A = this chain, B = another copy of it.
């Protein structure tokens, strides 16, 4: 993708998976701005004093507010752990660390959790605990024009609790919110440093090589596909011939692509992947299923919940819509399975992993856990250096062996944008992943980071969740 940098020159944005060398930008002022424009800027660890993104220095000590947003993941709490542990070490700049109970809703209703009253063991345990320990929310703040009151309320709560740092852990919708909060704070004379912490299993945030949360769901899907496919292969001669596995991914096929890691050689499952990026062609699909059963003896199909017909209609649309106005999907697997049965009469089975895939901390990717922690840590390091309205990103330095670092980009570059699976990651027939895609995905699922177990089950931590005493007399109705 080509764009113009801040100096008006045509530059090419790196594609996901591209190896990017972090530039020695401290030696060249113009290079800094270029990198800033394309989204790969300063690694916080060697963040220069004169970085143009450091608009101000943290001066007085302020409290910090952390909130989780949108669908949770196996490692969003690892980011929380990174934010909290780092903030607690920055006692020169950061006082108390508060968290929103149920995300931004907790801020609006002044329902804050005093994180400093949690034990260090529980904070550490967040690193191996899935889902949103503080509660997350599907609650999108409207535009400034439409509902300025919500933003003003946020600032009112922040002011009441002397909060100077806002760390918002979410996807592209949430980055938009964080950006607006930073703008309204400035406008209302209560400047607040807003740093986004990337999180989405969908892997659809732009300008970051990958999104924390994705690596673990990718590993879960690849492992599950490999295992279930072995099951089908065992039974195919006398029983199930077709297995359909539905995975998440509303508009981007990253999770579906991860299933492709399950097979290496030709003929190995999954045999067909249905991506949201490729319009569904019923006849061509059914023909491929038939051909696969005839040659391999069985057929494993992975279908993204976002798979749609050429006219954009989802293969299975439940009809209900969530708080963000997105339609609620689910149940495409039985639709596809039944389509195959009607056409060919094969015995089939289908599975829908749903929440299992994004909460499967037991099989999390080690790289993902580390990156989730790292972006949380980086967010705090950026904030105390006075870098405002940015989001840390993962920068890939090399694929084999995998090397990565953390950079950051302006929130304005990320907000409300989606990164789809690039065409060169999908095989020409539209049913599989290319070697380039495999090269991109493989490092992200690398390594295991098993949680501790007790009585045969993962020993996940639970926060105490001590409330912070309310200081405002006004109540806020959602």
User: Hey, which bits of chain A sit against chain B, CB under 8 A?
Assistant: 68, 71-72, 74, 102-103, 105, 129-133, 135-139, 219, 222-224, 226-228, 230-235, 237-239, 243, 245, 261-262, 320, 322-323, 328, 330-331, 333-334, 347, 349-356, 358-363, 365, 442, 445-448, 450, 453, 455-458, 460
Contact = CB atoms under 8 A, between A and B. Distances in A.
A234 B457 contact: no
29 contacts: A74-B227, A102-B237, A129-B230, A130-B227, A130-B230, A130-B231, A135-B233, A135-B234, A137-B235, A138-B238, A222-B457, A224-B356, A226-B458, A226-B460, A227-B355, A230-B460, A238-B323, A328-B347, A330-B349, A331-B334, A334-B334, A350-B352, A353-B353, A353-B356, A356-B356, A442-B456, A446-B455, A446-B456, A448-B450
Given A355-B243, A356-B227, A360-B227, A131 B349 contact: no
Nearest to A361: B227
A446 B331 CA distance: 33
Contact of A356 (B68, B228, B331, B446): B228
Given A446-B455, A457-B262, A351 B359 contact: no
B350 A330 contact: yes
A15 B356 CA distance: 33
A131 B261 contact: no
Contacts of A129: 230
Most buried by B among A103, A138, A362: A362
B457 A132 contact: no
A234 B68 contact: yes
Contacts of A458: 223, 226-227
Contacts of A102: 237-238
B138 A239 contact: yes
Nearest to A132: B234
Contacts of A71: 235
Nearest to A133: B234
Given A222-B456, A230-B130, A362-B363, A238 B351 contact: no
A219 B453 CA distance: 12
A25 to B, nearest CB: 32
Nearest to A243: B355
Contacts of A355: 227-228, 231-232, 243, 349, 351
Nearest to A341: B320
Chain A binding surface SS class: mixed
Given A334-B331, A458-B226, A460-B230, A349 B356 contact: no
A231 B131 contact: yes
Given A72-B235, A105-B237, A137-B237, A354 B365 contact: no
Nearest to A360: B227
Contacts of A328: 347
Contacts of A231: 72, 130-131, 355, 358-359
Contacts of A234: 68, 72, 131-133, 135-136
A158 to B, nearest CB: 21
Contacts of A352: 333, 350-352
Contacts of A354: 228, 349-351
A301 to B, nearest CB: 13
B445 A359 contact: no
Contacts of A238: 102-103, 105, 137-139, 323
Given A71-B235, A136-B235, A457 B323 contact: no
A419 to B, nearest CB: 22
A72 B229 CA distance: 12
Contacts of A442: 455-456
A246 to B, nearest CB: 9
A334 B237 CA distance: 29
Which residue, of A105, A137, A235, has the highest number of chain B Cβ atoms within 10 A? A235
A267 to B, nearest CB: 12
A362 B219 CA distance: 11
A228 B359 contact: yes
A323 B456 contact: no
A219 B456 contact: yes
A362 B138 contact: no
B363 A456 contact: no
